[in-house]
A and B are shown apart, each in its own frame.
Chain A
Amino acid sequence: AQKITQTQPGMFVQEKEAVTLDCTYDTSDQSYGLFWYKQPSSGEMIFLIYQGSYDEQNATEGRYSLNFQKARKSANLVISASQLGDSAMYFCAMRDCPPQIDQFYFGTGTSLTVIP
């Protein structure tokens, strides 16, 4: 079964608007972490934001926020005030933590294009 599902292969957003990138996950663990990474056309993977399963508050990092809905197993990324430089692939990832194992599972990504 897919651990991480990103259902939006591509998204468009007008510059300065907000956009939400969807991510749902599947785990039976109580303790896990959720991450978002950005991959621009240059190819590197840039860490954006982290949410722990026990965190009560939604994570925020500058213009990025993570809309964490534990009961629905969703961890959507919200980018506010989009900029042209936000155009990139965005990957949602989960780390679940059975003992001794520390794997990341990645979704298939969402390609975001910011329109001037």
Chain B
Amino acid sequence: NAGVMQNPRHLVRRRGQEARLRCSPMKGHSHVYWYRQLPEEGLKFMVYLQKENIIDESGMPKERFSAEFPKEGPSILRIQQVVRGDSAAYFCASSTAQETQYFGPGTRLLVL
């Protein structure tokens, strides 16, 4: 049973470009969560999604960030017009309803 998959593992973007981060949950998991980890810090919740629905996006910056979890395919975290401060590790986690969250390996985003 494959774990949570994230790609790419590393992503380099120049300021102003778009970053797309993908997450495929574990088989049988319908809940997806995105977190951001800045250097030397813990994980900060960004958004919680179920298929085709955003359940809680209270941790998402109001501008430039969006997330989706379509009926088919992976969940996507999209960052438009990236800035240096967006450089971080972005983790996706998945779970069944209100159970333990299992994390993917993360995507390290570096904005030049």
Contacts and interface: CB of A to CB of B under 8 A. Distances in A.
Pairing of A with B: yes
Interface of A: 4, 33, 35, 37, 43-47, 50, 91, 93, 95, 97, 100-109
B22 interface: no
Given A43-B89, A44-B103, A108 B41 contact: yes
Which secondary structure dominates chain B's binding surface?
strand
Nearest to B56: A101
A10 B101 CA distance: 25
B21 to A, nearest CB: 14
B27 interface: no
Contacts of A47: 100-103
A115 B58 CA distance: 41
A105 B101 CA distance: 12
B12 interface: no
A35 B48 CA distance: 18
Contact of A104 (B101, B104, B108): B101
Contacts of A44: 103-106
B55 A45 contact: no
Contacts of A97: 98
A5 to B, nearest CB: 11
B44 A103 contact: no
Interface string B54-70: 01101100000000000
Interface in B36-92: 41-45, 48, 55-56, 58-59, 89, 91
A98 B108 CA distance: 32
Contacts of A93: 43
